[in-house]
Structure 1
Amino acid sequence: MKLKPATLQAGDTIGIVAPASWPNAEKGLRGAKWFEQRGIRVEFGTSLSRQHGYLGGTDQERVDELHQMFANPAIKGIFCACGGYGTGRIASMLDYDLIRQNPKIFWGYSDITFLLNAFYQKAGLVTFHGPMLSSDIGQDDVHPLTLDTLEQAFAPIKFTYTEDISPLRTLVEGEATGEIVGGNLSLLTSGIGTEFEIDTKGKLLLIEEVDEDIYRVDRMLNQLKMAGKFDDAAGVLLADFKNCEAGKRSQTLSLEQVFIDHIQPAGKPVLSGFLIGHCSPNFAIPIGAQGTMNTYKKSLLLEESGVRA
């Protein structure tokens, strides 16, 4: 059963978590001010002070933080401070019954991809792939459209993403409708062969990535292809691939050629160019919500919001 969290209202409290790496505390606090200006109380706990190597605390500390936030009835939404690395380490330790019984907004992207899709597949909770406190909202030069996209937490908003926002390129023509799933490519491939393997059957598969050499993108897309993820999908949405370049290799394929080689053969509609992921602006999109992509109109229509009124 699909579960949608309630909208945020003035006076509500949100919890800030660090389930992957440890965040930049200064930018995290700056990002919190945006919510406070909207009349939202912010509870950090120890999110900004924990550090365990490249992780934002031990596995058990990060699990405990998530459990406490979901179990606390005063917390109406849970926002991640940053990504980095580490959510795949704790996914099997989480109580999905607890999450199912306490549906609330869960928001993040990048390494948080693992949890976004796990919460949806295992608990039915619609989650949000969107900008985070220290990574985006707390930046000095945060884009106004990045902040505007946070409004999806405050109202049941439906929208259409068109070329008025960014140029979109068609790789395979067609129209497709399905629930939107996916996120960061590295995290999607890391779940293959596990109980958290991404289910793309009849879905619109969203993919973004950052700082990966093109040959590594090639390798990961090939893995998704061999696992049948493009054949299963209703359509594919290619978002931002920031700094995914040739690196030190003088001989390389282009990023678009890699997309063509691995995704085009499935024959499903493919649009690229969405400003979703490690980019500015960074548009939020609900994981689990129904959408329709149309390459002839070059658009993505979000047919249902990620929250209930």
Structure 2
Amino acid sequence: MGILVPSKLNAGDEVIIVATANKVDKKAIFSARDMLSTWGLRVRFGQHLLGEDFEFSGTDSQRLEDLQAALDDPTAKAVLAARGGYGTSRLIDHLNLSGLKKHPKWIVGYSDLTAIHGWLVDQGIVSLHATMPQIMIREEEHRSAESLRRVLFGNWPIIEVEGQPENRFGEAKGRVVGGNLSLLVHAIGTLSDVATRGRILFLEDVGEKHYHIDRMMVQMRRSGKLSRLAGLVVGGFSDLEDEALTFGKTAYQIIAEHVSEYSYPVGMGFPIGHVAPNLALPLGRDAHLSVTASGTILNYR
């Protein structure tokens, strides 16, 4: 299957912000609109973006209506998820991608948006794991926002990080897939299940206990998600709810243990995920991974 790569953005292009999950912080969203405007972009809000239905930004039908309308829109060049949280997976099975394929555009977000990214990759559509409007306006997110801007405007990234003790040296090339570990495990056996064979898998997570990470990695291994990778890239495992001492291993050591029987390269320590900065990571597109004693490079150029 070939891949569908959205066009780079130019000044004057229109982007749409939608909320697919929890309710948004209105002040932050308007600040994000102002920031995007300084990039030369015209910003439109989904009809129910500022809505509220208990924890969600609207009912399932309202959030679905906004997302589907944005995907189908013939003029917008990008759709930005306002925030993560929970709720996107409730919408997936009702989405239609025919409009998106006819009018390709960047789908941007992370965390809960992993549910959509996996499905897009399966359909051959490149998307963008990156910071989101509710977060990008924070001072500590300046590099995250700039990374997003650069990719949207046509600069494919080269991400270089220092070496980590759990790394495994090697070279690989493959289509980059993945995202939030919890969401990837949650998607196994569903429409948005991520195929990993021959691909470079990216993992990140937040707010978990160490034994939760171990349990999820067991599930990934038992379901065949780890055995035939081209390579593994690991981002932030942040704000964990317990200390490594309670389980006996750090998050990176847990992951390394579960892929120890394989031979593909493993690069940890990427500033991607629920961390600052959270660098933009294109998903569904080929990249070259190099892991050496001097560090790790993920190169999309």
Shared fold by TM > 0.5?
yes
Q: Which moved more, 1:76-85 or 1:53-62?
A: 53-62
- Which digits, 9 at most, give the CA deviation of each residue in 1:135-193, with x for residues without a partner? 2x122x23332122023344322332223xx5545532211110100000011001111
The 3 A distance-change label for structure 1 pair 100 and 237 is: same
- Aligned residue number for residue 296 of structure 2: 299
Residue 229 of structure 1 aligns to a residue whose secondary structure is coil
- Which digits, 9 at most, give the CA deviation of each residue in 1:55-88, with x for residues without a partner? 2222221111111112222322111110001111
Pairs within 5 Å for 1:49-68:
49-68=50-69
- Aligned residue number for residue 41 of structure 2: 40
Is 2:273 aligned against 1:277?
Answer: yes
The 3 A distance-change label for structure 1 pair 251 and 207 is: closer
The aligned amino acid for 2:24 is P
Contact 1:32 1:42 in 2 (8 A): yes
Is 2:234 aligned against 1:238?
Answer: yes
The aligned amino acid for 1:125 is I
- Aligned residue number for residue 264 of structure 1: 260
Give distance in 2, aligned partners of 1:220 and 1:154: 32
Give the paired residue count: 299
Residue 113 of structure 2 aligns to a residue whose secondary structure is helix
Residue 43 of structure 1 aligns to a residue whose secondary structure is strand
Give distance in 1, aligned partners of 2:51 and 2:243: 33
Residue 274 of structure 2 aligns to a residue whose secondary structure is coil
Give distance in 1, aligned partners of 2:279 and 2:48: 24
Unaligned runs of at least 5 residues, structure 1: 305-309
The 3 A distance-change label for structure 1 pair 169 and 35 is: farther
- The TM-score with structure 1 as length reference comes to 0.91
Residue 253 of structure 1 aligns to a residue whose secondary structure is coil
- Aligned residue number for residue 125 of structure 2: 125
Q: Which moved more, 1:48-57 or 1:187-196?
A: 48-57
Contact 1:32 1:138 in 2 (8 A): no
Give distance in 2, aligned partners of 1:251 and 1:201: 30
Residue 21 of structure 2 aligns to a residue whose secondary structure is coil
- The TM-score with structure 2 as length reference comes to 0.93
The 3 A distance-change label for structure 1 pair 222 and 251 is: closer
- Aligned residue number for residue 159 of structure 2: 161
Unaligned runs of at least 5 residues, structure 2: none
Contact 2:170 2:291 in 1 (8 A): yes
The 3 A distance-change label for structure 1 pair 193 and 238 is: same
Residue 202 of structure 2 aligns to a residue whose secondary structure is strand
The 3 A distance-change label for structure 1 pair 221 and 144 is: same
Contact 2:118 2:193 in 1 (8 A): no
